[in-house]
Amino acid sequence: MRVLVVEDDVTLAAGLVEGLEREGFQVDHLGAAEPAEGALGLTAYDLAIVDIGLPGIDGLELIRRVRRRGVLTPVLILTARDGLDDRVVGLDVGGDDYLVKPFLLPELLARVRALIRRSRAAASLVLTVGALSLDVQRHSASLGGGELELTGREWDVLEQLALAVPRVVAKQKLADSLSQWDKEITPNAVEIYVSRLRAKLAGSGVGIRTVRGIGYRIEVEAADGPAR
């Protein structure tokens, strides 16, 4: 699971990143709202932890902007402001939970897990495209009723394509969402994962179509030929 931490306090951010990584999360950290807005638009995060008191654009405005763009990533707000009005505003602009500084790491981790569970429960647990089924909660896939074995990267690509049906997913967006910030995944690497997935889906009636110059779309293949 992937979490974005948006916090300008370097010491606090380092502690959050370390604690989350110990719990098995993949964590990206940014210290300002502007790059965080771009990251949330490109990357499929399971959760964002956002400090209100950011330099430049504050955390509340960041949340407003990404919600206006249709980003549904759960957001845990961090702030030193503990007034009722502050909590109400934070939740009203699109935050999902609110934690006041100083806080204890075990409580933050519990809230993170709860928000992710709630988000996943609200989402469709099984995605179906023709003979292909993806169980999002269990992280398992089946094809024609039989188990479909996937690597972690293959699962990530296939899940994003299935979630987007019938829309096209940009190749760069797939690359960005697969990348760790210290290990960039190139669009050429995405082509390799798509090629492997096509081989595993061959003959099932489900294909991945290339939309030239844009990206990929998963679809039930037409009777007259496979998706390309």
Tokens encoding 136: 């999002």
Cβ partners under 8 Å of residue 72, min gap 6: 119
Domains in the chain with CATH codes = 2-122 (3.40.50.2300), 126-220 (1.10.10.10)
Cα(14)–Cα(134) distance, integer angstroms: 35
Amino acid 86: pLDDT? 78
Quote the tokens at residue 33: 């709202």
Residues of the chain with pLDDT under 70: 121-125, 179-184, 222-228
Place of tokens 């492997």: 196
Residue type, 133: S
Confidence at residue 201, expressed as pLDDT on a 0 to 100 scale: 96
Q: In this predicted structure, what is the pLDDT of residue 42?
A: 84
pTM: 0.57
pLDDT of 132 reads 96
Please write the tens of the pLDDT for every residue from 132-161. 999 877 788 999 989 999 998 899 899 889
In sequence order, what are the residues at sequence separation of 6 or more whose Cβ sits closer than 8 angstroms to the Cβ of residue 206? Answer: 129, 130, 131, 132, 143, 218, 219, 220, 221
